[in-house]
Amino acid sequence: METFCLKKNNLPHHIAIIMDGNRRWAKKNNLEYIEGYKKGAANLKNILKAAININIKILTVYAFSTENWNRSNKEIDSLMDLFETYLNKYLNSLKKENIKIRTIGDISKCSKRLQLTIEKAKIKTKNCNKIELVLAINYGGRNEIKRAMLKIIDDLKNKKISKKNIDEKLISDYLDTYFCKDPDLLIRTSGENRISNFLLWQSSYSEFYTTQTLWPDFTKNHFFDAISYYQSKKRRFGRI
């Protein structure tokens, strides 16, 4: 599907992606698992470019979940090194292409070196406004809500807020995604039909699109197919 098939007046503002299938892609191609992640990281650049070309404003990607710590130390270290390598490698081009880097999740659990790399990327791109690339690193929806509740409790104790202030908007303001609208479209690759603890609060009214395609094979045309699916839906938000 080409971009001209899409309705320019009905594009999602915020798209979130569960980039699943990197390991399966490596296995299918008789490669080491890390090659799947490398291919997936390179593919993110392609999808980001496609999103920019059709004026998507926010792209959030599930890079490393709170549950991923259960993997082997070797795999975890490889993934952390990959994040650092790619952020350093593409930082200048990210700024040149006017891409703002943000993160959600508890990055304090990551290595100091990766934390510094992330902070450098955020500072260097802070004034960019073409698109926001939100990297979910050490992110889990339940953990995010727990951390938000703890912050709310602290602010209640310190009388910064009162019970009567607590509504859905206030809770949203305490979440990691306080800076953006909820995703309009949530894409999951590789054929799984679960959200795997990703944006639990925020995705309550997102359109959910799944594809059998593994993330490293997910092309811009697959991306446009997902957006076309989104545009075929009438979003009622509970109304008739």
Catalytic residues, by residue number, are: 20, 68
Biggest CA–CA distance in the chain, Å, is 59
CA distance 44 to 92: 16
Q: Residue 237 and residue 240: Cα distance in Å, rounded?
A: 9
Kindly give, in sequence order, each residue whose CB lies less than 8 Å from that of residue 135, ignoring residues fewer than 6 positions away: 61, 63, 83, 101, 102, 103, 104, 118
The CA distance from 121 to 101, in Å, is 6
Quote the CA–CA distance of 105 and 141 in Å, as a whole number. Answer: 9
Quick check: helix, strand or coil at residue 97?
coil
**Which has the closest alpha carbon to 82: 41, 132, 126, 124?**
41
